[in-house]
Amino acid sequence: MQTILKIIAQRLLLGLLTLLVVSVVIFVAVNLLPGDFAESILGQSATPEAVASIRRDLGLDQPLVIRYFQWLGGIMTGDLGTSFSQLNFRSAMGGAGDTGVAEQIAPRLSNTLFLAGVSASIAVPLAVFLGILAALYRNTLFDRATNVLTLSSISSPEFFMAYILILFLAVLNPILPSLSNIYPGMSFGERLDRTLLPALTLTLVVTAHMMRMTRAAIINLLASPYIEMARLKGIKPLRVIVKHAFPNALAPIINVVALNLAYLVTGVVVVEVVFVYPGIGQLFVDAVKNRDIPVVQACCLIFAAAYILLNLTADILSILSNPRLRHPK
Please give the backbone phi and psi of residue 100, each rounded to the nearest 5 degrees, phi first: -70, 145
DSSP state letters, 249-296: HHHHHHHHHHHHHHHHHHS-HHHHHHHT--SHHHHHHHHHHHT-HHHH
Binding span for other proteins by CB under 8 A among 150-158, 176-184, 225-233, 237-245 = 176-184
Residue 252 vs residues 160, 220, 248: alpha-carbon distances, Å? 30, 11, 9
Question: DSSP states of 37-82 as a string?
Answer: HHHHHHGGG--HHHHHHHHHHHTTTS-HHHHHHHHHHHHHTT---B
Footprint on residues 245-284 left by other proteins (CB under 8 A): 273-276, 278, 282-283
Q: How far is the CB of 171 from other proteins (least distance, A)?
A: 6
Work out whether 290 is an interface residue with other proteins (CB under 8 A): yes
Least CB distance to other proteins at residue 265 (A): 19
174 is an interface residue for other proteins by CB under 8 A: yes
The verdict on 32 binding other proteins (CB under 8 A) reads no
The yes or no reply on residue 154 touching other proteins (CB under 8 A) is no
The residue count for binding other proteins (CB under 8 A) is 50
Q: Which of 23, 71, 81, 83 contacts other proteins by CB under 8 A? A: 83
Q: Examine residue 156 and tell whether it contacts other proteins (CB under 8 A).
A: no
Burial of 95 (0-12, 13-18, 19+ CB in 10 A): exposed
Nearer to other proteins, 285 or 320 (CB): 285
Contact residues for other proteins, defined by CB under 8 A: 33-35, 39-47, 50-51, 53-54, 57, 83, 85-86, 88-89, 91-94, 96-97, 104, 163, 166, 170-171, 174, 177-179, 181, 183, 273-276, 278, 282-283, 286-287, 290, 292
